[in-house]
Amino acid sequence: MLNFERFPWGHSRRFNSYTEHIRKTFGGRMQKVVVNAGFTCPNRDGSKGVCGCTYCDNEAFNPSYCNPVEPIHSQIAQGISFHLVRYRKASKYLVYFQPFSNTYAPLPKLKILYEEALAYPDVAGLVIGTRPDCIDDDKLDYLMQLSHKYYIQIEYGIESCYDRTLNRINRQHNYSIGEQVIRKTHERGIKTGAHFIFGLPGESPDEMLACAKMISELPLDSVKFHQLQIVQGTKIAREFEENPSDFHHFSLEGYVAFIVRFIERLNPAIVIERFSGEVPPRFMKSDTGNGQPVQQGWGLIRYDAVLRLIEQELERQDTWQGKYYT
């Protein structure tokens, strides 16, 4: 019988669950409400590039209630109403600045947007999605001050541990920049998260698995993992048509098996927010351009079902996050 009391997360799930972490932090249910503040990123506005990352289509991930022409407080109100239909009322809300790079603006503008969100009733804090090359010391110092009163988390899109991959997907930054910024953020006491994608072109499963050690060495509070999803109209979709053998596409069963092996090697102190992503089927590329099916999607299965499969496999193998972490 597994003794869960020895695990730092202190609950019976076999990984350090974000849901349980939030329940412990806030003493009840918390809901993220996504807002679109109309940001762009240096890969789109010409400062570094104009085409964005090769896999990127923010519309595929943006909730229907997010409209950048609406004020932040209006988007929060609509988001709360949207979630009330699907879930019971949360005790607190975190406003999630998600689309594009949400620190890519002068600090005075950021202050107006962030403080408008924090002034909304029952908002306990912010989650700010951004790139590691869109932050500086002044912005970090300001967010550190906010973190003394509110729950503040910065979520950095790192995507890969390998510079050759980052170059190939047109990230326009290297892994070292991400590592440095994560450490700077952590040193200021700000909740620090990172996002990684499995299945990027040119990476083998063994190389992806080796990232568990590199990620474990970072002072991260939380991580999100997504499988690569090839969205129609993106540059990576065209690249797949030309070189499908460069991509390792996980079947659902293969991905579950991979995730189990990965988190066995992951630092158990890191909270896992997500294991996979969802994109509406209408956005997904369904063939290679020659009539051959891509077989890279998992149909209409929702995240909760994927999570259950992962937890069932952890139970079946009697394993857990950090079992082989050293």
Tell me the percentage of the chain whose pLDDT exceeds 90: 74
Number of H helices and number of E strands within the chain? 10, 7
Summarize the confidence of residues 295-322 as an average pLDDT.
Answer: 90
Q: Which amino acid is at 228?
A: L
The per-residue pLDDT for 293 is 45
Summarize the confidence of residues 281-286 as an average pLDDT.
Answer: 55
CA-to-CA separations, 35 to 77, 157, 277, in angstroms, rounded: 10, 17, 18
The per-residue pLDDT for 158 is 97
**Above 60 in pLDDT, residue 301?**
yes
Helix (H) or strand (E) holding 34, with range, is strand 30-35
DSSP state of 231: B
Q: How many residues does the chain have?
A: 326
Q: Please give the domain boundaries of the chain with CATH numbers for all domains.
A: 4-317 (3.20.20)
Q: Are strands 191-198 and 30-35 parallel, antiparallel or unpaired?
A: unpaired
**Above 90 in pLDDT, residue 209?**
yes
Gap between the Cα atoms of 242 and 53, Å rounded = 18
Burial of residue 279, with CB atoms counted within 10 A of its CB: 0-12 exposed, 13-18 middle, 19 or more buried: middle
CB 271 within 8 Å of CB 18: yes
Q: Which pTM does this prediction carry?
A: 0.91
Residue 15's nearest CA partner among 326, 316, 310 is 310
Alpha carbons within 13 A on the beta-carbon side of 213:
7
Gap between the Cα atoms of 238 and 169, Å rounded = 12
The per-residue pLDDT for 292 is 46
- Cα 210 to its chain centre, rounded Å, is 19
pLDDT digits (tens, 9 = 90+) for 110-165: 999 999 999 999 999 999 999 999 999 999 999 999 999 999 999 999 999 999 99
Q: Cα angle vertex 54, ends 51, 55, to 5°?
A: 125
Task: Report the mean per-residue pLDDT for the chain.
Answer: 90
Task: Report the 10 Å Cβ neighbour count for 251.
Answer: 11
**Above 90 in pLDDT, residue 50?**
no
CA-to-CA separations, 230 to 56, 183, 264, in angstroms, rounded: 9, 31, 27
Gap between the Cα atoms of 322 and 302, Å rounded = 26
Gap between the Cα atoms of 208 and 53, Å rounded = 19
All residues at 6 or more sequence positions from 305 whose CB lies less than 8 Å from its CB, including other chains: none
> Which runs of consecutive H residues, i.e. helices, occur in the chain?
18-26, 72-86, 107-118, 137-147, 163-168, 175-187, 205-216, 235-242, 252-264, 303-317
Gap between the Cα atoms of 233 and 55, Å rounded = 9
pLDDT digits (tens, 9 = 90+) for 175-208: 999 999 999 999 999 999 999 999 999 999 999 9
